[in-house]
Amino acid sequence: MIAVRKADERGVANFGWLNSRHSFSFGHYHDPAHMGFRSLRVINEDRVVPGAGFDTHGHRDMEIISYVLDGALAHKDSLGTGSTIRPGEVQRMSAGTGIRHSEFNASKTEPVHFLQIWILPERDSLDPGYEQREFPLAEKKGRLRLVASRDGRDGSVTMHQDADLYASVLAAGETVTHRLAPGRHGWLQVARGTVTLNGESLAQGDGAAISDLRDLAIAAQEDSEVLLFDLE
């Protein structure tokens, strides 16, 4: 079964400096029908104007993944970590027992466009942690590149949940396939472009919850970028 979450049905938050779309309930947007999917709790598509951002704030008991599509995102946290996340890089922050951080557009002239992803951890009260890695475009072209996993295999960032996150950049006409193990579920998020998932058309910003299916085929109708979650 494939249940499509259309881009224009998502929650909206527009504060001038931030224009955000929420696939699941978040902040002031609450929809009991969309509280998350399996361990996937948040997918926010955020656009932040130059020089603006999220002031220091706290999180706990959540695995937070930042995936930048355009621009650069500056990150600072209470662990003493400071970095800039750019396209091709994936950051994982484990909030665990508690962490405070800020996120700002690193540019004074260009907007930043990124996906903020929250995944429920396998247990609460973990030690806070942080990891960031680069995944070159060549490794994502025409294939599903593992970028986050529980065991950090294939050079992926680690997260405290039985979940795999793949990224793929597809040229028009290209297809990638993935097999879900028995009892596993999937979520496909279209970051840009237009694809079909087992024949179901999905446009930029659309997501799809996948259950009771084994074999997945993602075909690009135009140049596209997608994220695929393989979930317990």
The predicted-structure confidence for 196-223, as pLDDT tens digits, reads as follows 999 999 999 999 999 999 999 999 999 9
pLDDT band at 50 (very low <50, low <70, confident <90, very high): very high
Specify whether the CB–CB gap between 84 and 73 falls below 8 A.
yes
Q: What are the residue ranges spanned by the domains of the chain?
A: 2-231
Q: Looking at residue 78, what is its pLDDT?
A: 66
How far apart, in whole angstroms, are the C-alpha atoms of residue 116 and residue 108? Answer: 21
The set of residues, in sequence order, having a beta carbon less than 8 Å from that of 14 and lying 6+ positions away, is 20
Task: Give the per-residue pLDDT at 55.
Answer: 72
CATH homologous superfamily, domain 2-231? Jelly Rolls (2.60.120.10)
Q: Which of 225, 216, 230 is nearest to 194 (CA)?
A: 225
**C-alpha atoms less than 13 angstroms from C-alpha of 113 in its C-beta half-sphere:** 6
> Which of these ranges, 96-105, 156-165, 176-185, 223-232, has the smallest mean pLDDT?
96-105
Q: Give the pLDDT mean for 12-24.
A: 95
CB 142 within 8 A of CB 176: yes
Q: 55-87 pLDDT, tens per residue?
A: 767 678 899 999 999 999 987 776 667 789 999
Mean pLDDT of the chain: 94
